[in-house]
Each structure stands twice: as C-alpha cells, then as structure tokens.
Chain A
Amino acid sequence: MARTSDVAAKPAAAGSAAARAGRRAGRSTTIRGTEVRTAYLFVLPALLVYALFMLFPFVTSIYYSFTSWDGVSLDLPFVGFENYTSMFDDGELFGAFRNNLVWIVVGTIAPVAIGLTLALMLWTQKVGSLAFRTLYFLPYITPVVIIGIVWGWIYNPLFGGLNKLLEFIGLDSLTRGWLGDPGTALAAVLVAAVWGAFGFVTLLLFAGLQSVDLSLVEAAAIDGANWWQRARHVIIPEIAPVLTLVTAITLIGGFAVVDFVLIMTGGGPGTASQVLGLYAYKNGFQINKVGYGAAVSTVITILTLVAAIAFVRLRERGRDGG
C-alpha cells in the first residue's frame, strides 16, 4: 500500500510539481509579457521620434521624387519616373557622382589608414597616450563650419598659410588658389574632411584595441613575427568588428557628404567639386526643383545602402574565410 501509495504518490507529486511548474511558467509568461510591454513602452518614444523625423520625411521625400513640385506651391504634379529617367541626360549629375566616388575611396581609406596607424601607435605608447588621444579627437568635435572656414584661410591665395609655407621652402611654383583651381579644389576639401574625421576613427579603433588578447601578440612576437606581421595577422583580425564599423560609417559619410563642399567651394569652381548631396540640395532648395532634388536624394540613399550592405557582407565573408 505504502509502496502503492508511494508509487501513486510519485505521479501525484510529479503532477503537483508539473502543476507548480505550469503555474510558475504561467507566472513567468505573465512577467515576461509585462516586461515586453514595458520594454516596448521604453522603445516607443525613440521609435516615434525616429518615425517622425526619419521615416516620415524619407517616405515623403520618395513621394516628392515622383512629382515636379517646386517646394512652394500646393500643387504637386505627379510625373512618374520622369525625374529618374532625366538623370541619364544630366552631365552635372554624373560629374558629381564621379567626385563622390573619389571622395568615398580617398575619404574612407585615408582616415581609416591614418586612424589605424595612430591607434596602434597610441596603444603601444605608455606615456602621453591620453593627451594625444584628446589632441587627435579635437578636430572631430570641432564644428564642420569652423573646420571649413579655417582650412579656407589656410588655402587662401592672398594670405593663406599653405602658399606662404611653400614659398618659404622654395616651392613657389606649387602655390595656387587651392579651392579655386579645378584640379585641386576637391582634393583640398578632402584633406580638410580627412583632418576632421581621423580623430574619430583613431578613438574608436583605440577603444577596440583594448580588447585585444595581449598573450596572442606576445606569442606571435616570440614566434618571430615582426611589427607588421603582428598587426596584420593578430591585432587587426582581433579588432575586425570595430574596424568594419568605422569603415562603414566613413563610407556612408562619403556618399552623404555636403557640408564640407558647401562651406569651402560651393561645388566650384564651376562644378569641379560638385557632389551628389550638394547637387540634390541645390536643386531642392536653390532652384526650386524639389522633385528632382528628392529623386537624387533617393538615389544617394539607395547607393549608400547597397554599398554599406555589400561592404559588410564582403567583410563577413572575408572573416568566415579565415
């Protein structure tokens, strides 16, 4: 009996435990449901802000790109894909695209290369690292307008420091109006932009370097790996996620660039330093072709998305491949 009752008691106990577990699970589900609702409530404000200030304008902009709206009247004539098809006959747009490509290549590689070099140097530097980090980061927190104006002064053909320096070291033949020469305008603006960006890259990569396993680096050194080999085969793979992130951010910035060009050259001389973002702005806000400007903006967004996704995929594939 006792045995039976024992046996009987077990399932009963088991049933009771299952019931308790079920009740616990039910309570857990209820708690999880509350937590999820609370979480959504926390996320909702940010989501609303994002929807209101990012998604809504983005969707509206796409709609405008199918109209010939002048930005002022209440009339938004629908023109279908006309704004997009007319891009194929727009020479200035292709010129701007070429400049964007230059910007993306140079404006991504240069700050990442400089930033990585400096971050590695700072990482191995025990003295003055904080001071240098602060110094390198300063350009990044300086407003773009200030950077643009100051570099504009440096390049000024009447009193600029660059020409004075070149004259001082006997390279008079190289002096020129850097921002007014079609051959140098874009490069001159790019230099200012790279100067403004490398500090950000340096700081992020330096932060990434803090998680590198030093024993691996030491082991590589014991195995005879030189500085470059240690960096190439041990350190950089360790900071790959951060490196991917900063490269993607810089790359996206290259597509969306407007500020530096607008402040320093306005896209000139002529259209020598014109970029897609500025061209969209010019159409939308200066010559009242909002529809066309919106179409150019949409194309920039698509190009940026495609490039960013392709870059991240490539990076992931490279990492998976060893």
Chain B
Amino acid sequence: MASSKRTITLLAGALLVALTAACTGGGGGGETEGGADSGGKTTVTFFVAPAETPELDREAQALVDKFEQQNPDINVERETIAAEDQRTVIQTRLRSDNPPDLFGYDTGPGFAGVLAKADLLYDLGPAYKQYGWDIYDWAKQRVTYDGVLSGVPGSVEELGVYYNKDLFDQKGFAEPETLDELKEMADEFKADGLIPFAFGDQEQWPAGHIFSIGVSNMLGPEGLDNILYGNGKWNDPEVVEAIEVMFTDMVEAGYYPEDVNAITYEDSNALFYSGQAPMNITGTWLVSEVRQEVGDRFEVGFFPFPAIDDTGIHPPGGLGGGLFVAKNTDEPEATLKLLDYFLSEPFLQANLELTNTIPALPLETEGLEITPLFQEILNDLSQSSGETAFGYNIDVLTPQGFNDVMFDGFQEVLNGSRTPQEQADALQEAWAKAKAAGEVLEAP
C-alpha cells in the first residue's frame, strides 16, 4: 500500500515536472522552424493569404516550388492564412522567436502602418537599390511609413463592373459612359426579372468598394487627396451625393438584390455567374475566379463605373496588399532572394498568366496567354491618366477605426436606418478622431 502510494506520489511529481517543462517550452529541443534546417538548407517562412480558389492556390504554390528548384539551398515554407485571421496571427508571430520571414499583408495605415509604427518591419530601402526593383513611385509611397520603405507592393487592382456580354448583346447595350445610361440598362434588366447588380454586403467590406467608386468619381483623385491629406471633409456635399447615388438611389430603384445586407460576397458573385444578375460591381482580383466559374457559358466584359452627372470616370485603383519582411528575420539574405524572385520578369509573367495578378511595375505582356477579359482590364489600367486618372479604394488608405464606422454605417444606409448625410457626418467624426490620434497616412 505504502509502495503504491509512493509510486503515485512520484508519478504525480513526474507529471508536474513534465507539465511545467511543457508550459515553459522545456529545453534541449533543437530548432525546427526558421533558420538552417537539418539538411543544411536555409528555411524561409512565407505567410500569405490563400488564392481565390484551391486550384489557383496550387498554381501559386507551384511558382514557389520553382524558386526552390532554382535555389536548392533554400527551402520555402509557404503557409496560407485566411484573410480574416491575418491580423491576429501576424501581429502575434512577429513578436515571437519565430516570426514569418516574409508575409503578405494589407498596406494601409491600419495594417502594415501599425506594424511599421511598432518597428516590426525590415527596412527594404537598401534592397530596392541592391536589386534594382523598378516599382511605380505611387505604389512605393503606399508601402513607405515614416519615410522608411518597408514593403514591396503586391498586385495592382481596380474596382469596376463585370458584365454579362451575352445579355448586353441581346439587349443591344454598349458599355455605359454615364450614370443615366447605366440606369436605363438597369431598368430594362429589372423589367426582364433580373437583378441588375450582383451585390451583397453581409461582410460589410463590399460597401466600402461601392463607396470608393462613388466618391472617386465625384471628387477625382485631387478631391480625395484633399480629404486624405488636406483639409477636405468626408461630409462635404459631393461625398453625401456619392452616398445617395451609390446606396440610397440604387436600393430605392431596386437595382441591388433585396435584403442586400443578408447576402454574402460569394452569394452575390454566384448571382452573376448564374446569369441572374447581368452586372457585378467588384475588383479585378476576381478575374481568375470569373474565368473559372463562368467558363464558356457566356462572355464577360469589364467597364469602369460611369460618370455621375458631369463628373469624370475615376475607377478606384490601388494596391491589393504588399509583401513585408519581418525585422527580426533570421534569414534576411534568403528572404530578399525570394522577394527578388517574386519581382523577376519570368515570375511576374507566369503569375500574370496563371492568376491574372497585375504587378506594380512595368511588365512586358506581349506574347503572353491572356484572356480577352483580362486584356480589357490591362488596357483599362494603362489608360488611367488625366480625366480618367484612378481614384482610390478608400479602406486601404484609412485606419481601421474609420473603416469600422464606414462598414457598419453603410449597412445602415442600405437598410434605410441611416441617411447619407448622417453617414457622411459619422465618417467625418471618425476621420477627425483618427487624425487627432495620428493614425492617418502622411501626405506623399
């Protein structure tokens, strides 16, 4: 009896020691993450959001595998993290002993800007010089925080309208250039029992894109610059009108699906793919998915949202995220080598063909296999200047506190419980708070 009691006591003690060791990380274990692995290879960890579809994600992984083949001494651990989990995972991991060497993240002040402020990002200025990365200046400005070039811009994206060319042809419609033309088309489609625009806002962020389109057309890039970097206000009459046009009027006219706040982004895209909605207002990141989902069932075109009254056409354009290196990376050389591979012409061309990703630097596209839809988008992007200069996708330039007010508020505008003026006032109030807290972007 005494013996078994002693055994139990010893077992309990052993368990305690084991548990304490486990809780404190123990000791004596070899490093398995990051740095040089057992095979003498250097391991680079790479965190990135998964591609739109599993098939596209496999293609993206294949491009990374190619880098490993070209650099047998480097092993890349590519880890996909869902966009909604990125913030918590990346912020936590950057403070750990094993930060991701390279990671994809949003470039806005509420995202990478926060990391830069906390001194968690690697200064890439010298690497730009060393490797001669020829990124567009406007794009470099988006990844520069407090004067430090801390990232590499990812893809260039544009917000616009995908449309079902077959349905347009049946009606004899051409791409509209004014809001009135667009409304006439929408009325006819509605009379045919179709939902003119596929749009769902359950996730809240899609409304940010609709707002960006309206406010970009109403104000143009100069007007937006005045708000973002000057003394302009989010409750100026033009902004209120943009909200009225893009939200209140559209809902009242029945151009969006009923119960738009209960429809997800995926469901709204499905309305377009199934032919129930002839137009879909979203971004160019969807090109590959559109190609896969629609297949040969109908032809798809893309046009920038037309002019509102006598304004210009300024489709919101900008960066779809960027790549960043952790300040505490153990393998800066190998990581920069991988980054350089991602910016090499062969990679960018392959990526452009496979995933329709538009890089933020000049790229030769002649001879590449490009779908007509994607070519249309490339043409549209290349024509952006002067009267048709890009506007901005607002939520990547504004802090998260502002975005929160924007996203919540537009759901209320869509369900009629908040007026455009009230929403504009709420935006301005949030902006003033963010400005006072020093959370907004610095003027370029």
Q: Which residues of A contact B (CB under 8 A)?
A: 34, 37-38, 41-42, 44-45, 48-49, 52, 70-74, 155-158, 176-182, 265-271, 282, 285-289
Inter-chain contacts of B267 with A (CB < 8 A)? 156, 158
- Given contact pairs A156-B263, A158-B267, enumerate 14 new A-B contacts (beta carbons under 8 Å): A41-B9, A44-B12, A44-B16, A45-B12, A70-B118, A72-B91, A73-B118, A157-B258, A177-B258, A177-B259, A179-B202, A180-B261, A180-B263, A269-B412
B262 touches A155 (CB 8 A): yes
Contacting residues, chain B, for A157 (C-beta < 8 A):
257-259, 262-263
Could you mark each residue 260-297 of chain B with 1 if its beta carbon is under 8 Å from any beta carbon of chain A, else 0?
11110001000100000000000000000000000000
Tell me the residues in window 13-67 of chain B with beta carbons closer than 8 Å to chain A beta carbons.
13, 15-16, 19-20, 23
Assuming the contacts A52-B23, A155-B262, asked whether A182 and B16 have C-beta atoms less than 8 A apart, the reply is: no
Give complex CA distance A265, B262 in Å.
8
Task: Kindly state the separation between the CA atoms of A180 and B202 in the bound complex, as whole angstroms.
Answer: 7
Q: Are B202 and A268 in contact (CB under 8 A)?
A: yes
The residue that A285 contacts in the complex, of B13, B88, B414, with Cβ under 8 A, is B88
What B residues does A158 contact at CB under 8 A?
A: 257, 263, 267, 271
Complex Cα–Cα for A162 and B38 (A): 57
Chain B facing A: main interface SS: helix
Bound-state CA distance A270–B406 (Å) is 10
Residues of A within 8 A of B12 (CB): 38, 41-42, 44-45
B8 at the interface (CB under 8 A from A): yes
A29 to chain B: closest CB distance in Å? 16
Evaluate contact between A287 and B400: CB separation under 8 angstroms: yes
User: Which of B109-117, B155-163, B180-188, B320-328 contacts the other chain?
Assistant: B109-117
Is B428 interfacial (CB-CB < 8 Å)? Answer: no
Residues in A whose Cβ lies below 8 Å from that of B271 = 158
B421 in contact (CB, < 8 A): no
Chain B residues with CB under 8 Å of chain A are: 5, 8-9, 12-13, 15-16, 19-20, 23, 87-88, 91, 94-95, 110, 114-115, 117-120, 201-204, 257-263, 267, 271, 399-401, 404, 408-409, 411-412, 414-415, 417-418
Interchain CB contact (< 8 A) of B417 among A156, A177, A182, A287: A182
Of A45, A72, A181, A286, the contact of B16 (CB 8 Å cutoff) = A45
Of all chain A residues, which has the CB nearest B20? Answer: A48
Name the contact of B204 in the complex, choosing from A45, A52, A268 (C-beta under 8 A).
A268
CB of A269 within 8 A of CB of B415, answer yes
**Contact A270-B115, Cβ < 8 Å, known A176-B259, A181-B259, A181-B262:** no
| Also in contact, A268 and B118, with CB within 8 A (given A180-B262, A182-B417, A286-B400) | no
Query: Assuming A177-B263, A180-B260, is B418 touching A270 (CB within 8 A)?
Result: yes
Give the residues in chain A near B415, CB-CB below 8 Å.
180-182, 269-270
B224 to chain A, nearest CB (A): 22
Q: How far is the CB of A302 from chain B (nearest CB, A)?
A: 25
Chain B residues lying within 8 Å of A156, measured Cβ to Cβ, are 262-263, 267
Residues of chain A within 8 A (CB-CB) of B115 are 72
Residue of A at shortest CB range from B400? A287
Q: Report whether A287 and B110 are in contact in the complex, using a CB–CB cutoff of 8 Å.
A: yes
Q: Is the CB of B261 within 8 A of A269?
A: yes
Q: Which residue of chain B has the shortest Cβ distance to A75 in the bound complex?
A: B118
Instruction: Give me the 4 closest cross-chain CB pairs, A-B, nearest first.
Output: A177-B259, A180-B262, A177-B262, A180-B261
Closest-by-CB residue of A relative to B115 is: A72
What is the chain A residue whose CB lies nearest that of B413? A270
- CB-CB < 8 A to A44: which residues of B? 12, 16
A282 to B401, CA, bound (A): 10
Contact A270 B114 (CB under 8 A): no
Contact between A48 and B23, CB atoms less than 8 A apart: yes
Q: Which of A38, A74, A177 contacts B118 (CB 8 A)?
A: A74
Chain B residues with CB under 8 Å of A45's CB are 12, 15-16, 19
Q: Please, could you name 13 A-B residue pairs with CB atoms under 8 Å apart, sorted by A?
A: A41-B12, A45-B19, A52-B23, A71-B91, A72-B95, A72-B118, A73-B118, A158-B271, A176-B262, A181-B259, A268-B204, A285-B88, A288-B110
Tell me which residues across on chain B come within 8 A of A285, comparing CB atoms.
Answer: 87-88
Chain A residues with Cβ below 8 Å from B259 are 157, 176-177, 180-181
Cβ of B13 to closest chain A Cβ, rounded Å: 6
Kindly state the separation between the CA atoms of A74 and B94 in the bound complex, as whole angstroms.
12
Report Cα–Cα, A289/B433, bound state, in Å: 13
The winner among A34, A44, A155, A268 for most chain B CB atoms within 10 A is A268
Given contacts A156-B262, A269-B411, contact A282 B16 (CB under 8 A): no
Which residues of A are found within 8 Å of B204, using beta-carbon distances?
A: 266, 268
Q: Find out whether the CB atom of A177 lies under 8 angstroms from the CB atom of B261.
A: yes
Which listed residue (A266, A270, A286, A287) contacts B203, Cβ 8 A? A266
Residues from chain B with a CB closer than 8 A to the CB of A42 are 12
| B87 near A286: Cβ-Cβ < 8 Å | yes
Contacts of B8 in A (CB 8 A): 38
Write out the residue numbers on chain A whose beta carbons fall within 8 Å of the beta carbon of B401.
287, 289
Residues of chain B with a CB closer than 8 A to A178's CB: 262
Q: Which of B9, B110, B258, B412 contacts A270 (CB 8 A)?
A: B412
Known: A48-B16, A49-B19. A72 touches B263 (CB 8 A): no
Residues of A within 8 A of B95 (CB): 72
Tell whether, in the assembled complex, residue A270 and residue B411 are in contact, meaning their CB atoms are under 8 Å apart: yes
C-alpha gap A180/B251 in the complex (Å): 14
Residue of B nearest to A37 (CB): B9
CB distance from A37 to the nearest CB of B (A): 8
Q: For the complex, give the distance between the alpha carbons of A181 and B12 in Å.
A: 56
Counting chain B CB atoms within 10 Å of each CB, the highest count among A49, A158, A285 belongs to A158
Check if A268 sits within 8 Å of B15, measured CB to CB: no
